[in-house]
Amino acid sequence: MQNKTYQYLLANGRQHEFKPTQYFITYDLETVSKIVNKKFGKSSYQMYELFPLSVASTIRNKWGLKKIFFSQQDGEDFIVQWIHQLFKEAEQVNADNQYITEACTIDDTVPYSMEVPIVGFNSSRFDISLIISQMQCKDWTISNYIGSPTIAKQVIVHHKKLNLKVKFVDMLRNLQPKELKQAAKDFGDGYDDKKGLFPYEAFNTDNVYEVLSKSEPFTMEDFNSSLKKTKISEKDYQIYLEDAKRFKNRW
């Protein structure tokens, strides 16, 4: 039995007070492609290499939900800025997850040293690989890594000054394979099945700032996908146009 919280509660006849982690943080990474057009041997060919474009997180604490967003507009170090903000938010999440006395103060008698969960979806193969290099710096460091060089099942990052740990995990690690839409429906509160439409193939690292800084909506042709061999329908495009009215530019 490795859970010190449950060990203490069991030893003191308070096991009925044990509770699962209630508050957590989620994250989702978007990417932009760089055209490389490299050949490997006689039959392998790489067209693109992906780089982080933006990252969004939702923080669930006892006060409700809070959203944060960082992108290349915030500077080349926007992933570092995001991790810095994650730790600030994680302080509140960590406090909210601890055991509370009848006087509504933290119960210091109950040992609690759980890492704050940072939950991604299908992130162990892709998202983590794009941001793991930013998890080592003067303020924080990787204290535990579970997985292989290509699949990160769990990454624990320790903030040296705050003495706080966050745990990056993939939601699918403990679930049967499923689509994001279904997972959101199964586990989300107030689920909304309206997913925004965005033409990620309409720009790359060479023109991302120029394309996304424009105020006019994308054209229907911008949504054509050469990778998926798909086109947007007139109905979906009209939905996109209505949604685009809420924003000053394409970012």
Q: Give SS3 for 233.
A: coil
Residues 100 and 210 in one domain: no
Residue type, 241: L
* 85 and 148 both lie in a single domain: yes
Domain that includes residue 223, residue range: 195-251
Residue 25: strand pairing partners: 59, 118
Q: Please check whether residues 69 and 116 belong to one and the same domain.
A: yes
pLDDT at 143: 96
pTM for this model (two decimals)? 0.83
- If asked whether residues 84 and 178 sit together in one domain, one would say yes
Domain count, the chain: 2
pLDDT at 62: 93
Q: Are residues 77 and 173 in the same domain?
A: yes
| pLDDT at residue 189, rounded to an integer | 62
Where among 149, 174, 193 does a domain terminate? 193
DSSP 117: E
Say whether both 105 and 208 belong to one domain. no
Query: How high is the mean pLDDT in each 10-residue block of the chain (251 residues)?
Result: 80 88 94 78 72 96 96 96 98 92 80 90 89 96 93 95 95 68 61 70 93 96 90 95 93 88
Nearest of 105, 108, 157 to residue 134 by alpha carbon: 157
58 and 112: one domain?
Answer: yes
Boundary residue ending a domain (147, 172, 193): 193
pLDDT for 48 equals: 72
Q: Are residues 127 and 30 in the same domain?
A: yes
Spatial distance between the Cα atoms of 133 and 77, rounded to a whole number of angstroms: 12
Residues 15, 135, single domain; the answer is yes
> Do residue 173 and residue 212 come from a single domain?
no
Name the token pair of 3.
Answer: 């859970």
pLDDT of residue 109: 85
Residues 178 and 204 in one domain: no
pLDDT at 45: 61
Given 154, 172, 193, which residue is the final one in a domain? 193
> How crowded is residue 112: how many other Cβ atoms within 10 Å of its Cβ?
15
Residue 162 confidence (pLDDT):
93
Output the furthest CA–CA distance in the chain (Å, rounded): 71
For the purposes of burial, counting CB atoms within 10 Å of the CB of 214, is it exposed (0-12), middle (13-18) or buried (19 or more)?
Answer: exposed
Same domain, 54 and 162: yes
